[in-house]
Structures are given as C-alpha cells and as structure tokens.
Amino acid sequence: KNQVEQSPQSLIILEGKNCTLQCNYTVSPFSNLRWYKQDTGRGPVSLTIMTFSENTKSNGRYTATLDADTKQSSLHITASQLSDSASYICVVSDRGSTLGRLYFGRGTQLTVWP
C-alpha cells in the first residue's frame, strides 16, 4: 500500500532556531517528492520538488534531502521565523498511473514562538 508517514506530528521551536522534519514513504514506482507549506485555512504552497536523481535541494532557508534507497526525506529549516508557523506536508507522486497520483502525509504542524 502506498503511504507517506511524517514525523513529528507537531513541533514547537523558538524563533531563530533550526529544525528538521522527516518523511518516510512507500510509494512505488516513485516519481518525485515535494514539500508543501500550508498556512492555516489556506491551500498548500510548494516549497521544493525532488526527483529520483536528486538528493538535496534548497529554497532560501528551506533545504530538503532525499534518500531514494531508504525512501526517506527531510526538510531542514534554518533560522526559523514566526512566519514559518504552518503545517508542512510531504507529498509523493508515483509514475505508475496516468493520473500521476499524489500521496499526502498528514503533515507536521510547526509552531515558532518569539
């Protein structure tokens, strides 16, 4: 069964600190993995996308890693800001169907305190 598991479920950090969010998946055949940021009551916005051949990608203070062998990904946030408070969702796409199905994790709820 294709699944995406994220940890931790929630995380509280102080402003300026770094944090790392984890994503494990069993989706096969794998196409790409995305990290989305979802503010409360809004739609998800893409942060990074990685294909099978990529193992790291940065977008400003966000750095994502991918280990396709162990089927694990992480999202590292440096120098956190209050505006980073949101749900971070790991989304894995397969290439085994015409739909290019997206499999969503439940997200990690990050709260940044001043």
Partner 1 sequence: EADIYQTPRYLVIGTGKKITLECSQTMGHDKMYWYQQDPGMELHLIHYSYGVNSTEKGDLSSESTVSRIRTEHFPLTLESARPSHTSQYLCASSEFDRGGGTEAFFGQGTRLTVV
Chain positions contacting partner 1, by CB under 8 A? 4, 31-32, 36, 41-46, 49, 51, 89, 91, 93, 95, 98-102, 104-107, 109
The residues, ordered by sequence, that sit 6+ positions from 9 with a Cβ below 8 Å of its Cβ are 106, 108, 109
The nearer residue to partner 1, 68 or 78, going by C-beta atoms, is 68
The distance of closest approach from Cβ of residue 76 to partner 1 in the complex, given in angstroms and rounded to an integer, is: 22
Q: Give the span between the Cα atoms of 24 and 4, in whole angstroms.
A: 6
The distance of closest approach from Cβ of residue 10 to partner 1 in the complex, given in angstroms and rounded to an integer, is: 9
Cβ burial of 33 (10 Å; 0-12, 13-18, 19+) is buried
The nearer residue to partner 1, 85 or 109, going by C-beta atoms, is 109
The distance of closest approach from Cβ of residue 12 to partner 1 in the complex, given in angstroms and rounded to an integer, is: 15
The distance of closest approach from Cβ of residue 87 to partner 1 in the complex, given in angstroms and rounded to an integer, is: 8
Query: Position 32: which residue type?
Result: N
Residue 17 — φ and ψ, nearest 5°?
-85, 165
The nearer residue to partner 1, 7 or 46, going by C-beta atoms, is 46
The nearer residue to partner 1, 17 or 43, going by C-beta atoms, is 43
How many CB atoms are located within 10 Å of the residue 106 CB?
13
